[in-house]
Amino acid sequence: MLGYLWRRLRYLPVSLLLVLFMTFSVLRLTGNPIDIYLDMNRTPEQVEALTQKLHLDRPLVVQFGIYLRDVVKGDFGESLQFGVPALEVVLDRLGNTLQLVGVALGLAVVLGIAGGAVAALRRDRLADVVISFLAVLGQSMPSFWLGILLIQFFALRLGWLPTSGQGGVAHIVLPALTLAAYLIPNFILITRTGVIETFNEQFVLTARAKGIPSVRVLLVHVLPNTLNPILSFLGLQLGKLIGGSIITESIFAWPGIGRLMVSSIFQRDIPVVIAAICIMCIAIVLANLLVDIALSMLDPRIREA
């Protein structure tokens, strides 16, 4: 197990280094940092001071080295909007984003696995047709459009839930459901396929021949053997889930990293944008690492790969 963890962890610095390099490159490709940070009323003294502060008078390789050194120390610069370190601003919003992603992921896993299991047990019947149709329909539904529909129906028409902001449990229902809707259809289809295939295995047929109830066979023998593809899919989609929170937070005014990033782009607050990108990438890498560890514990053969 320790050897497997080492093989996974040794690629972590490489992934983060590539993210930092891409962030630095995009920052330079977007134009002259002087034009990004300062407006048209800038003075020559301001230009000179910012040039020295950002080390723009040095070669590009040296600039990247200084940028990398500062990031490793946690120094992303000072936020232009808030006047405090950019990392501090991002970390203040990190908990809200993790809360939203965690609730959405829980909904997606529970509803997706339950829907897929029901569809498999009622294969080629009305329940299977309806659930499969809704899953395929959900895959083609943009999250921003779904979010607007949920606000229109549950918040404006029925008045059951708030339209935006953060507060009690009611405030997180619509954003979490919107974000979870991206994964639920895929969980349904993967679970349905896995359950149908596992039901034809010899050990399941033996358990059913002994008269064990179908629900017990499903929970004890079938579902545990279908978790491998579900976890593998989850590892591939975690990045999209965290990235999708940017749109969801913007729609529902949820005070997380995604909304902060969007507002910082409009305000040209580059230090906050860079810090947010790096924190989100670190979260994605660590989440995938946890999924790999869970897969290795579920299937010991993966440790030898």
Q: For residues 196 and 181, give the distance between their C-alpha atoms in angstroms, rounded to a whole number.
A: 23
**Average pLDDT of the segment spanning 221-242:** 77
Burial of 45 (0-12, 13-18, 19+ CB in 10 A): exposed
The predicted pLDDT at position 303 comes to 56
Say if residue 122's pLDDT is above 80: yes
Domain boundaries, the chain: 2-72, 89-304
The dihedral built from the CA positions of residue 230, 236, 242 and 248, taken in this order, carries a sign that is negative
The predicted pLDDT at position 3 comes to 65
Q: Is 287 helix (H, G, I), strand (E, B) or coil?
A: helix
Domain 89-304 has CATH 1.10.3720.10: yes
**Average pLDDT of the segment spanning 196-217:** 78
C-alpha distance from residue 31 to each of 22, 73, 150, 260, 271 (Å): 15, 26, 39, 22, 15
Higher pLDDT, 150 or 60: 150
The conformational region for residue 273 under phi > 0 = left, psi -120 to 50 = alpha, else beta, is: alpha
Least confident of 31-45, 115-129, 252-266: 31-45
The predicted pLDDT at position 31 comes to 65
